[in-house]
Amino acid sequence: MREATGNMEKNQTIAAPHGLALAQIALGFGGLFIGTGEFAAMGLLPGMAKSAQVSIPDAGHFISAYALGVVVGSPLLAVATARMEKRALLLLLGAIVRIGNALSAVAPGFWGIAGARFIAGLPHGAYYGTASIVAASMVPRGQRAQAIGRVMLGLAAANLIGVPLTTWLGQSFGWQSAFGLVALGGAILIAMLRFLVPHVPADNDASPLRELSAFKSAQVWLTLATATIGFGGMFAVYSYITPTLTEATGVSEGAVPLFLALWGLGMCVGNVAGGWLADRALIPAIFAILVWNIVFLALFTWVARTPILAGAALFMIGIGFALVPALQSRLMEVASHAQSLAASMNHSAFNLSNAIGAWTGGLAISAGMGWASTGVVGAALALAGLAVMGIAAVHARKSGAQGERA
């Protein structure tokens, strides 16, 4: 079998053992389980804070601990496993997902929970990066962003199905039960990957040094900075969405999963739209999505006290998830010879944005600006991300950077 990167560069595809659709579903299910494990903490933050005997803003460090695990794990695993067959790597990452979430369900105290969340975050970026490469290897070049989008659809679906379910489960049986469910999902994921995903050999020329060469590219750094800063706005709102809905919007705790489902539905719509737009006009798509985020994040602050309008705003903010497949595709374009690291680092960037969003949103709340102030904080972060992407576009135009598509 020809190596994966060579197949992609020559526009050849790898056949899945039981068809493309089932392989994509398996990869997407990984996104569902991992995404649920990541975002579940945001819907369960009050209960986790109570168990750890800390304030809700301080419990936001559990979110940051997971994000730190992603930031650390993504480059380390991508470099260390550069020559590993991709399906075997996905199976290894699925096992770490199980362990991290199982530990989260039983960990005692603040530091125990934080440590378990850190472990759970380690395989996150490497999984999405590797799954994106596998998905792209099974389709023609002009359909790669949409294939990547289908992997990310699992992450979006986590907010439509997984997070509302785990939020309800946590409210009914304790927040620990939610992470126990995700650990069970990890076992299902391993079985699906084993039987439905094809063998995708690593590039014969792959090496840790070759992967690290991605960091020589200014376009890689600028794209990562766009994700880190620009997507932090969504997390500034989402990190504190449960107390914002109950305290500022005035909805009951039992209604929170419905609002989370609206957010998740928007993410699913945005994920499909982002992949479609990226395959047609990548750079303009990224700019348009960032502007969209600025507008609706800012709007959330003004409508958060009205339940119907708050729900509508959350749906529109969720559509801004379209930025994820677009930036993933961009990174794989500008780092074509170090795709494992580049694709994984995209999720390091998004989870660093998670930490930044949780931190800046917590600062605004602690300063007495109110729960809904996270919307304005988020809009400011998205605006900063737009500025960084503008610098990237100017640099690409002047240098003729490899991979630019207008």
pLDDT value of residue 376: 95
In this prediction, residues 335-346 reach a mean pLDDT of 74
Query: 252 vs 248, 256, 389, CA distance in Å?
Result: 11, 7, 39
CB atoms within 10 A of CB 25: 16
Amino acid 283: pLDDT: 92
- Judged by average pLDDT, the poorest of 94-103, 127-136, 155-164, 266-275 is 155-164
Average pLDDT of the segment spanning 86-97: 93
Q: Collapse the DSSP code of 357 into the 3-class scheme (helix H, G, I; strand E, B; otherwise coil) and give the result.
A: helix
Q: What is the mean pLDDT of residues 108-122?
A: 93
Q: How deeply is 6 buried, as exposed, middle or buried, from its count of CB atoms within 10 A (0-12, 13-18, 19+)?
A: middle
Q: Is 60 exceeded by the pLDDT of residue 1?
A: no
Asked if residue 397 has pLDDT above 80, the reply is: yes
- pLDDT given for residue 144 in this prediction: 80
**Token pair of 266 as six digits:** 């928007």
Residue type, 28: G
Tokens matching residue 289? 């999505």
Distance CA 24, CA 28 (A): 6
Q: With bands split at pLDDT 50, 70 and 90, how would you rate the model's confidence at 400?
A: low
Cα separation, 96 vs 77, in Å, equals: 12
Q: Quickly count: other Cβ atoms within 10 Å of residue 211's Cβ.
A: 26
Give the C-alpha separation, 228 to 379, whole Å: 14
Indicate if the pLDDT at residue 399 is higher than 70. Answer: yes
Confidence of residue 404 (pLDDT cuts 50, 70, 90): very low
Q: What is the pLDDT of residues 178-234, one digit of tens each?
A: 999 999 999 999 999 999 999 888 776 666 777 777 778 889 999 999 999 999 999
pLDDT digits (tens, 9 = 90+) for 349-372: 887 887 789 889 989 998 889 999
Given a contact cutoff of 8 angstroms between Cβ atoms, the answer to whether 312 and 318 are in contact is: no
Q: So what's the pLDDT on residue 406?
A: 40
What angle do the packed helices 374-399 and 218-230 form, to 10 degrees? 170
Length of the chain: 406
Q: Region 296-301: what's the mean pLDDT?
A: 96
pLDDT at position 108: 86
For residues 179 and 352, give the distance between their C-alpha atoms in angstroms, rounded to a whole number: 22
The mean pLDDT of 118-124, rounded to a whole number, is: 92
pTM of the model: 0.76
Higher pLDDT, 381 or 172: 381
Q: How confident is the model at residue 388 (pLDDT cuts 50, 70, 90)?
A: very high
Amino acid at 384: A
**Rounded distance between C-alpha atoms, residue 193 and residue 92, angstroms:** 11
Q: Check whether 401 has a pLDDT greater than 50.
A: no
Asked if pLDDT for residue 159 goes beyond 80, the answer is: no
In sequence order, what are the residues at sequence separation of 6 or more whose Cβ sits closer than 8 angstroms to the Cβ of residue 288?
277
User: For residues 380 and 357, what is the distance between their CA atoms, to the nearest angstrom?
Assistant: 11
Instruction: Give the SS3 label for residue 22.
Output: helix
Provide the mean pLDDT of the chain. Answer: 86
Domains (ranges, CATH) in the chain?
4-399 (1.20.1250.20)
